[in-house]
Amino acid sequence: MCKSWPLAYVGDGIEEPLPDHLLRTACLTSCLFKGNAEVLLKRWGRKWDSEQILWLLGFLHDIGKISNAYREGCRSGRVSFSLHEYVSSLIVYKSGDILLERDVDLGDQLKVLANAIVRHHSAMIDRDPVSILRSSILGKVASSISKVLGSIEEGVLESILVEGLKEVRHESLLRNSMLQALRELKQLPHTRLGQLMSNFRVKGELWLVSGLTGFLVVADNIVANSARRIGDDGFTPIYISLWIRELKDKLSRCYYCFEVVGF
């Protein structure tokens, strides 16, 4: 049984608090890749604050894990968090839709971030949008995601957002739009969720999305490694070791990110 909730990881005798993981990943993503993101955003004509974009990317990437639907795995001592990246991305994307009516630029930011977040586990079998969005399985996937969304407590989401967005510009606007997005998503039939997920088929902005996804994947895995979480695919630990070696100098300047804790 899990000692607390929400959690980012449950397995191998480890229970990593979700707030800790989100804050550390947000911190490390923005610390490691601020300069890279500035170049990427400039290349795509986006006059966005690269540090804030990366913070939001890192903080929101696993927000879907707060769902009580995942707690069933606590009984076995291992939680899979199946399709959590789609749950997270739907909340962020729908929030972007809502914000378009008040702040077009901020809404656009969230939609791009949602498309990066949904791809941060794409290396895993049948987790990438190309596979998930096949018409033959989309209905079943959307139905599963609908149940996960329905088990998210709005109060829990709000408490996490308050902590993670407190230093972010437009904090209140972002937080309220995400809470509204959750409420609206819960009301949608799974067929409409499937239609909404079709927006994760990126074409024109694929390189921008791919670049942001890459930043997130590296930071996310380094943070997970710091919590002694070990990938079971045989390849992830090798990549993490490589990234740590290549980013050694940058990581030495981002040490404070590993001291960031949740609440």
Helix (H) or strand (E) holding 58: helix 50-60
The per-residue pLDDT for 172 is 96
Q: Any idea which fold 7-259 has?
A: Hypothetical protein af1432 (1.10.3210)
pLDDT at 69 over 80: yes
The per-residue pLDDT for 232 is 60
pLDDT at 263 over 60: no
pLDDT tier for residue 164 given thresholds of 50, 70 and 90: very high
Backbone angles phi, psi at 172, to 5 degrees: -65, -40
Task: Give the predicted TM-score (pTM) of the model.
Answer: 0.95
- Using DSSP's 3-state secondary structure scheme, residue 3 falls into coil
Averaged pLDDT, 205-211: 92
Helix (H) or strand (E) holding 25: helix 18-43
pLDDT at 143 over 60: yes
pLDDT at 39 over 70: yes
Smallest CA-to-CA distance from 221 within 211, 231, 210 is with 231
The per-residue pLDDT for 125 is 81
The per-residue pLDDT for 175 is 98
Averaged pLDDT, 223-232: 78
Q: Measured between alpha carbons, how far is 216 from 222 in angstroms, rounded to an integer? A: 10
Averaged pLDDT, 207-213: 95
Smallest CA-to-CA distance from 83 within 51, 125, 28 is with 125
pLDDT at 58 over 60: yes
Beta carbons of 34 and 70 less than 8 angstroms apart: no
Q: Measured between alpha carbons, how far is 28 from 186 in angstroms, rounded to an integer? A: 32
Averaged pLDDT, 118-122: 95
The per-residue pLDDT for 130 is 87
Percentage of the chain modeled with pLDDT above 90: 80
Residue 108 has which token pair? 């656009």
Q: Which are the contacts of 171, defined by CB distance < 8 A and separation ≥ 6?
A: 165
Strand pairing category for 14-17 and 7-11? antiparallel
Q: Which are the contacts of 166, defined by CB distance < 8 A and separation ≥ 6?
A: none
Identify the bridge partners of residue 7 per DSSP, sorted by sequence position: 17
Averaged pLDDT, 246-255: 95
Residue 245 has which token pair? 């070696």
Residue 146 has which token pair? 């609908």
pLDDT tier for residue 235 given thresholds of 50, 70 and 90: confident
The per-residue pLDDT for 234 is 66
pLDDT at 70 over 50: yes
Measure Cα distances from 31 to 25, 54, 158, 248 in Å: 10, 9, 25, 13
Q: Is the dihedral of CA 8, 138, 133, 88 positive or negative?
A: negative
Per the document, the length of the chain is: 263
Averaged pLDDT, 147-161: 98
ω into 129 cis (within 30 of 0):
no
Q: Measured between alpha carbons, how far is 247 from 184 in angstroms, rounded to an integer? A: 41
